[in-house]
């Protein structure tokens, strides 16, 4: 029978996120992004991430210091940082110690559960396009700007969970993790050969 991931996959705790941002970005590959509200439960396996460093990363929103918009990046690890661009949302997870403004952008997840709900939110039935891309997955999971600063370790409404053995969402094949250095010291991580990643660059590796 179908088992609920909330009963077998515990939410990641704060100490998981209180580590080097590139390590967290890599370790998040294969973890589960979970969202629950009155409409139901949606779960996706994290397929692509990107690390934004606290130091020397001109592409990071924290590069020019704290302001009203990016304040969550300077807060405790394990919180959400949600940014709006092109009238769309991007979902980040704050890492390292409080005051160290690093974060991991979730670029793509593989739909695992609640696909019907994702299809409704996204207005498409093309599974590959449901959660491929940072703004698309935000729409599929209905993670609006309200979640900026949200504590993702509480296992409530929106959280990140381990892919613990025995539940319905276990990774069947050992994921091969690809790494590519990008400009401005950014780092991307993704499952090689996974079709649920956001761009052709990742697909080709």
Partner DNA sequence: AAAACGATCTACT
Partner DNA sequence: GTAGATCGTTTTG
Applying the rule CB under 7 A, the residues between 74 and 113 that interact with DNA are: 81, 83-88, 90, 92, 103, 105
How many whole angstroms separate alpha carbon 74 and alpha carbon 41? 30
Q: Candidates 9-17, 110-118, 129-137, 170-178 — which segment interacts with DNA by CB under 7 A?
A: 129-137
Give strand pairing partners of 109. 46
31, 43, 48, 52: which one binds DNA (CB under 7 A): 52
How many residues in total does the chain contain?
205
Residue with tokens 């959400």: 80
Taking the complex as a whole, the smallest distance from the CB of residue 172 to DNA amounts, in Å, to: 26
Taking the complex as a whole, the smallest distance from the CB of residue 69 to DNA amounts, in Å, to: 6
Nearer of residues 43 and 197 to DNA, judged by Cβ:
197
CA distances (Å), origin 22, targets 25, 145, 157: 5, 25, 26
122, 167, 197, 202: which one binds DNA (CB under 7 A): 122
Nearest partner of 8 among 49, 46, 47, 43, judged by Cα: 43
Nearer of residues 41 and 135 to DNA, judged by Cβ:
135
Q: Are 67 and 157 in contact (CB under 8 A)?
A: no
11 binds DNA per the rule CB under 7 A: no
* Cα–chain center distance at 146: 16
What single string gives the DSSP state of each residue in 4-36? -HHHHSPBPPHHHHSS-HHHHHHHHTT-EEEEE
146 binds DNA per the rule CB under 7 A: no
Residue with tokens 């993790």: 177
Taking the complex as a whole, the smallest distance from the CB of residue 14 to DNA amounts, in Å, to: 20
Number of residues that bind DNA (CB under 7 A): 30
Footprint of DNA on this chain (CB under 7 A)? 50, 52, 59-62, 67, 69, 73, 81, 83-88, 90, 92, 103, 105, 122, 124, 129, 133-136, 198, 200, 204
């Amino acid at each position: 029978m179908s088992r609920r991931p909330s009963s077998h996959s515990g939410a990641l705790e704060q100490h998981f996120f209180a580590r080097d941002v590139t390590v967290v970005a890599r370790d998040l590959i294969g973890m589960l992004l979970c969202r629950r509200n009155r409409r139901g439960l949606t779960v996706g396996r994290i397929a692509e991430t990107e690390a934004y460093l606290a130091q020397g990363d001109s592409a990071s929103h924290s590069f020019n210091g704290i302001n009203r918009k990016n304040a969550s990046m300077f807060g405790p690890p394990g919180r959400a940082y949600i940014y709006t661009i092109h009238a769309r949302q991007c979902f980040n997870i704050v890492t390292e110690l409080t005051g160290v403004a690093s974060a991991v952008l979730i670029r793509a997840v593989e739909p695992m559960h609640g696909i019907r709900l994702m299809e409704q939110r996204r207005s498409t039935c093309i599974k590959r396009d449901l959660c491929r891309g940072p703004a698309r997955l935000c729409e599929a999971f209905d993670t609006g700007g309200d979640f900026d600063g949200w504590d993702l370790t509480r296992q409530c409404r929106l959280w990140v969970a381990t892919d613990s053995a025995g539940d319905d969402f276990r990774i069947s094949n050992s994921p091969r993790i690809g790494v590519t250095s990008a400009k401005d010291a950014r780092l991307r991580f993704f499952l090689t050969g996974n079709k649920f990643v956001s761009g052709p660059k990742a697909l080709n590796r």
